[in-house]
Amino acid sequence: MLVDAKTDIGKARNMNQDFIYVSESLKDIQLCILADGMGRI
């Protein structure tokens, strides 16, 4: 599986709080996690 991802810091933050994780292929299982950073302003 090919995975491509891009994050953006947005207009309200000084630090990018987005998180992307893609595991290495484990036979038939592939784990992909996307967390959209939504910390306090």
Work out how many domains the chain is built from and give that number. 1
Under DSSP, the state recorded for 8 is -
What pLDDT, on a 0 to 100 scale, did the predictor assign at position 9?
78
Q: Which of 40, 37, 31, 39 is nearest to 7 (CA)?
A: 37
What pLDDT, on a 0 to 100 scale, did the predictor assign at position 16?
78
What pLDDT, on a 0 to 100 scale, did the predictor assign at position 12?
75
pLDDT in tens, the chain (41 residues): 677 788 877 777 787 778 888 887 667 777 888 888 766 65
Q: Can you read off the two tokens belonging to residue 9? A: 């810091």
Domain that holds residue 18: 1-6+13-41
Under 8 Å between Cβ of 33 and 19: yes
